Copies of this chain bind each other. A is one copy, B any other.
Amino acid sequence: MTEDQRLARGTRTRQRIARRAVDIASVEGLTGLSLGRLATELELSKSGIQTLFRTKENLQLAAAEAAQAEFTAAVLLPAEEVADGAARLRALIEHWITYAETPLFAGGCFWSATLPDFDSRPGPVREVLLGQHSAWLAHLAGRVSRAVTAGEIRALDPDLTAFQLDAVLTAANTAMRLGDAGAAEKVRRTVTQLLGG
């Protein structure tokens, strides 16, 4: 094997481990992750995983990065294919519902499962999760703002509306996990109430 092949293989293994870490964290939070557990589940050597990540914190950071990449591909980018304005905002919310309902990650929304754990644990993982969550709220507020500017919805406050939409999406994610079959419908009715029919 050449040096290039070895590096490519290391990158693929790293991605595979990070992706499994996202699934575990979406169910149990990031604090339950461990290099040993990942090694067992993926049938890899513990020393190999240790070489790739070194610490549990690096594994948590890699999981957050992998979750963000998949979320962007599954929710943010597809919505950009829809016409700018209210239609794009509604598409964004529908893609989010699919993300939580299908679900993309084993335990549903990654941030709903991990942010409550880290709100009182200062450090780089908390900073990354918080930055990702803030970026999502800002993205949502931007889409609300465009729909207001286009005159397609009433003059809502973008930041407040983003807070409210994120709140009902997060609550719906929890309700789905707890077996509430009407959770997506509650989100859609809230969107209709906020944005108009």
User: In the complex, which of the residues B32, B113, B168, B190 contacts A116, with contact meaning CB atoms closer than 8 Å?
Assistant: B113
Q: A residues near B, CB below 8 A?
A: 27-29, 31-32, 107, 112-113, 115-117, 119-120, 130, 133, 157, 160, 163-164, 166-168, 170-172, 174-175, 177-178, 186, 189-190
Is A168 a contact of B177 with CB atoms below 8 Å?
Answer: no
- Say which residue of B157, B166, B168, B178 sits within 8 Å of A163 (CB atoms): B168
Residues of B within 8 A of A112 (CB): 116
Looking at the assembled complex, report how far the CB atom of A125 sits from the nearest CB atom of chain B, in whole angstroms.
13
Nearest CB on B from A161, distance (A) = 10
For the complex of A and B, list the 6 residue pairs with the smallest distance between their C-beta atoms, beginning with the closest: A167-B171, A119-B177, A167-B167, A167-B168, A163-B186, A27-B120
From B29, B107, B130, B178, contact of A178 by CB (8 A)? B130
Smallest CB gap from A109: residue in B: B116
Residues of B within 8 A of A174 (CB): 115-116, 119
CA distance A171 to B119 in the complex (A): 12
A164, B130: Cα distance in complex, Å: 23
A69 to chain B, nearest CB (A): 23
CB distance from A87 to the nearest CB of B (A): 23
Closest partner residue, chain B, to A134 (CB atom): B178
Partner of A117, one of B29, B164, B166: B29
CB nearest neighbor in B for A169 = B167
Instruction: State the Cβ distance, A22 to closest chain B Cβ, in Å.
Output: 15
A116 to B117, CA, bound (A): 10
Q: Say whether B171 contacts A186, CB under 8 Å.
A: no
Instruction: Please indicate the chain B residues that have their CB under 8 angstroms from the CB of A133 in the complex.
Output: 178
Bound: A47/B116 CA distance, A: 32
